[in-house]
Amino acid sequence: MYKSIVLYPDTFLWFTETLGVFYNCENTSFVQFEITPLLLKYCFRINDFNNMYTIAIDPEDENDTVFCKWLNRIVNNHIGKIVSLAFIDKKPFSLPPILNLRHELEERRMDDFYYRPINIANNFHEVTFLLGGERMSEEETGYYKQTHYPISSEFRLEVSNICSFLDNNNIRYLQQINIVSGELSAYPDLEFLLEKLFQYDIPLTYFFRGNDVEGVSKVLKYTSSGKISLGLYFADVKSFQETESLLKDGGIDYRWIFLLREENEWEQAQRIVETYDIEYYNLVPVVTSNVSNLDFFSENVFTSYNELSHMSLTKQNIFCNQTINSNCWGQLFITPDKKVYANLNGNSLGTIGEDVLCLIRKEMTGGESYWKYTRDKVIPCKACIYRYLCPPPSNYEFYLKRFDLCTVNNL
């Protein structure tokens, strides 16, 4: 009796000469298997698009114990099915989950359609303004490259620069504005800045120190739109209680941010959260200035095999991991010296006075695009079988200039 393997259209197959992985996006089934010469032959045939995810089984191969167990795992984990050809009139087929954009994009590049202003503007989702104007401690100087955090700079980004950027550029599709400062209340013309940004009717988040009670009080005057939120860096319990009393009935969304450099800070943050029943908070690990806490990162931040094998990803998620960096895509950062960045760990795209669509086009078409910095472009990830299941390269990796922040050892 002749039979065929038919993989489901939500199943991905990746393999090397020694290892194979099935992943079904619909039921999140993850099946890993060791490659034998026979399984390697079948994997190549399965991933041949011309076969439409349907492969005839050679009856002699069913005498192979490993092969039979492999077939059983495919069926039992809902990766695919085994179809008997004796009971059907037409050859079965399936549609492999293949992202086929190359031809389309090449055509669009040829007539410049893809990079027309309207299409470029559609990809500009978020902008972050780092106000500057203060010196940070030596330990803190690299934090802004890892997460939303104040930059150490004697320069200060002026209100006129911020408003000019927003007024003179196409921000039709802008979904988020971030303002990052240390002591927000020390910013000259703060109330004018608050009033102007309030008028854009775009979701807005202010990141600044939680012990800046005056800054919190001023922001609370502009909360009627419901589109303003706060990210407050936790300083100490006393200032937390004072700020919390202001925010409790302030009608504004806010969250406390705990920066973590070592295990005891993690434990302390957890105690504070539990003691004061903090509902909204972020625990944010940061690499120290002398990069002395990688052991802490290894235990708490590095991606593990267990995490990869229990990912819950859609086909769209995997297609994104193949083509763009979703951690960076659509974001621009503007520093106090008026430079514009796609990522603060890289070189600037230009200055705040330039047309933002030209800067975005430069980022999208450049060879070192952070927006398109995928696992396929970095060592050792490009050789890793899990690279499309793994989250895209992060700011931690860009900051450290190393892309092996995982505990997976399969290379």
DSSP annotation string for 339-368: EEESSTTS---EETTS-HHHHHHHHHHSTT
Which SS3 state, helix, strand or coil, does residue 240 take?
A: helix
User: Quick one: residue 257, left, alpha or beta (phi over 0 = left, psi -120 to 50 = alpha)?
Assistant: beta
Pair of tokens at residue 170:
């196409």
| Mean pLDDT, the chain, whole residue set | 92
Report helix, strand or coil for 126: strand
Q: 384: Cβ–Cβ under 8 A, 6 or more apart, which residues?
A: 375, 390, 408, 410, 411
Tell me the mean pLDDT in the region 164-174.
Answer: 95
Which fold, 118-301+330-364? TIM Barrel (3.20.20)
String of DSSP letters for 68-120: HHHHHHHHHTTSEEEEEGGG-SS-----------HHHHHHHHHHT-TTSHHHH
Mean pLDDT confidence for 260-286: 97
Residue 326: predicted pLDDT: 96
Q: What are phi and psi of 14, to 5 degrees?
A: -125, 145
Supply the pLDDT for residue 221: 86
Q: What is the pLDDT of residues 58-93, one digit of tens each?
A: 999 999 999 999 999 999 999 999 998 766 667 777
pLDDT in tens, 100-128: 655 445 545 544 555 565 578 899 999 99
Quick one: which H or E segment has residue 135?
none
Averaged pLDDT, 360-388? 93
Q: How does residue 411 score in pLDDT terms, banded at 50, 70 and 90? A: very low
Residue 6 has pLDDT above 90, yes or no: yes
Residue boundaries of the structural domains of the chain:
3-87, 118-301+330-364
- pLDDT per position as a tens digit, 178-237: 999 999 999 999 999 999 998 898 999 999 999 999 999 999 988 766 689 999 999 999
